[in-house]
């Protein structure tokens, strides 16, 4: 059974690094994926808005709640293991794993192989510039410093509590039509007609990879509960824009109101009660 606690007006969960001050009633503190799914199912049934909370280092208000409950990822931390494929060596981690924990785990030399391969992690680090307290889930949600190409695989829980794992290349749109199975659901929708001009927000294009819908979309489509991140010998610092709740007109400004409406349609399919991270991105 998941823990759901009442929060006070001065709770740490109501702020991030922005000037926004939020409000919410309770914080849900899942200890594992099963509890997180129970928690989101409960919220969905009660039609309660849920704001996903990482380490709240965002500076645009993405993790600041505007009512409802908070889903704190703080107990979902740790490195599951390391693997290797033709693109490189990767770590599989839980969403609240911080950049500091990530890099220290590599240095510890105690990471197990998850695919039986003999993986050497020597000289490798978290691939993008980030503050030590940033969580992997938060970095992926805002596409921090262009983490996108380093994301190999994601496991995502939807607001109806179903979940799916997806590897890069596994689910590709057919032109602008995206279809994929997720638990008891089979999702099908049209992608917006714009092509992303840069790397903020989800990367929309013809034949796009489903993975790219969840990277940079600030938690509006699903909760990231596991990720494979390719390691690198160098740290990339190509800056990207975060919109949060402070600058949530970015999509409209760049691509117009039709783009916003198209993304809202996708949200209403993936999050039918429209409860997840309301106020982010648009
Ligand atoms: C001084 C400063 C400079 C910064 N510079 C940059 C920069 O140059 N580039 C940049 O991209 N960012 C920058 N940021 C923003 C910040 O570093 C990122 O937002 C950070 O990676 C977020 O990590 P977090 O764990 O603190 O996430 P949070 O702040 O807790 O959350 C960020 C967003 O991700 C969502 N989220 C968190 N975890 C999950 C999850 N598991 N599943 C789905 N959604 C989730 C939250 O709901 C929220 O919308 C900066 C912040 C500060 C304070």
**Across-strand partners of 228?**
92, 153
Query: Does 157 fall in a domain?
Result: yes
Number of domains comprising the chain: 1
17 part of a folded domain: no
Ligand 1 in reach of 277 Cβ (< 6 A): yes
Distance from residue 138's CA to the centre of ligand 1 (Å): 5
Q: Phi/psi zone of residue 147: left (φ > 0), alpha (ψ -120 to 50 degrees), beta?
A: alpha
Ligand 1 center from residue 115 Cα (angstroms): 30
Q: What is the CATH number of the domain that holds 158?
A: 3.30.465.10
Residue with the nearest Cα to atom 37 of ligand 1?
A: 138
Task: State the Rg of the chain over Cα.
Answer: 18
- 117 pLDDT band (50/70/90 cuts)? confident
Instruction: Give me the mean pLDDT over the 76-98 stretch.
Output: 98
43 within domain boundaries: no
Task: Please tell me if the CB atom of residue 135 comes closer than 6 angstroms to any atom of ligand 1.
Answer: yes
Confidence of residue 161 (pLDDT cuts 50, 70, 90): very high
In a domain, 265, yes or no: no
- Residue 86 has a pLDDT of 96
β-strand partners of 212:
none
Residue 275 lies in a domain: no
Question: Does any ligand 1 atom lie closer than 6 A to the CB of residue 270?
Answer: no
Q: Tell me the residue range of the domain where 219 lies.
A: 79-255
Q: Average pLDDT for residues 53-63, to the nearest whole number?
A: 97
CA 61–ligand 1 middle distance (angstroms): 9
Residues 6 or more apart whose CB falls under 8 angstroms from that of 153 comprise 92, 165, 166, 167, 168, 211, 226, 227, 228
CA angle 266–273–28, rounded 5-degree value: 115
CA of 140 relative to ligand 1 center, distance in Å: 8
Residue 269 is assigned to a structural domain of this protein? no
Q: What is the pTM of this model?
A: 0.97
Q: Which atom, in ligand 1's list, is nearest to the CA of 73?
A: 41
Check if 276 has its Cβ closer than 6 Å to any atom of ligand 1. Answer: no
Which of ligand 1's atoms lies nearest the C-alpha of 224? 42
- Would you say residue 242 has pLDDT above 90? no
- Check whether 239 has a pLDDT greater than 90: no
Residue 85: CB within 6 Å of ligand 1? no
Instruction: Summarize the confidence of residues 75-88 as an average pLDDT.
Output: 97
pLDDT band of residue 83 (cuts 50, 70, 90) is very high
**Coil vs helix vs strand at 76:** coil
Q: What average pLDDT does this structure show over 74-85?
A: 98
Q: What angle do CA 276, 281, 282 make, to 5 degrees?
A: 95
**Ligand 1 and 105: CB distance under 6 A:** no
Tens digit of each residue's pLDDT (9 = 90 or more) over 2-11: 999 999 999 9
CA 171 to ligand 1 center in whole angstroms: 26
On whether residue 41 sits in a domain, the answer given is no
Pocket flag, ligand 1, residue 59 (CB < 6 Å): yes
In short, whether 62's Cβ falls inside 6 Å of ligand 1 is yes
Q: What is the DSSP letter of 102?
A: H
Residue of the CA atom closest to atom 36 of ligand 1: 138
Residue 144 in contact with ligand 1 by CB distance below 6 A? yes
């Amino acid at each position: 059974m998941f823990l759901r606690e009442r929060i006070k007006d001065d709770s740490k969960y109501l702020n991030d690094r922005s000037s926004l001050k939020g409000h919410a009633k309770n914080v849900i503190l899942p200890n594992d994926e099963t509890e997180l799914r129970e928690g989101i199912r409960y919220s969905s049934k009660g039609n309660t808005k849920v704001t996903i909370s990482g380490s709240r280092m965002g500076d645009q208000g993405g993790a600041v709640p505007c009512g409802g409950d908070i889903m704190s990822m703080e107990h979902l931390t740790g490195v599951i293991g390391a693997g290797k494929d033709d693109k490189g060596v990767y770590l599989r981690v839980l969403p609240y794993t911080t950049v500091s924990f990530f890099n220290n785990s590599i240095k510890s030399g105690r990471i197990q192989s998850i695919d039986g391969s003999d993986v050497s992690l020597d000289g490798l680090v978290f691939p993008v510039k980030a503050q030590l307290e940033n969580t992997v889930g938060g970095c992926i949600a805002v596409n921090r410093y262009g983490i996108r190409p380093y994301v190999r695989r994601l496991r995502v829980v939807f607001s109806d509590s179903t979940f799916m794992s997806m590897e890069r290349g596994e689910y590709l749109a057919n032109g602008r039509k995206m279809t994929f199975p997720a638990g008891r659901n089979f999702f099908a929708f049209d992608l917006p007609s714009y092509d992303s001009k840069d790397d903020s927000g989800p990367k929309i294009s013809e034949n796009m990879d489903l993975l790219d819908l969840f990277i940079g979309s600030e938690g509006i489509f699903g909760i990231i509960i596991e990720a494979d991140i390719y390691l690198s010998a160098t740290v990339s610092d190509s800056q990207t824009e975060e919109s949060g709740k402070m600058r949530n007109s970015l999509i409209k400004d760049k691509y117009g109101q039709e783009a916003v409406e198209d993304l809202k349609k996708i949200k209403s399919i993936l999050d039918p009660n429209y409860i997840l991270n309301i106020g982010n991105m648009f």
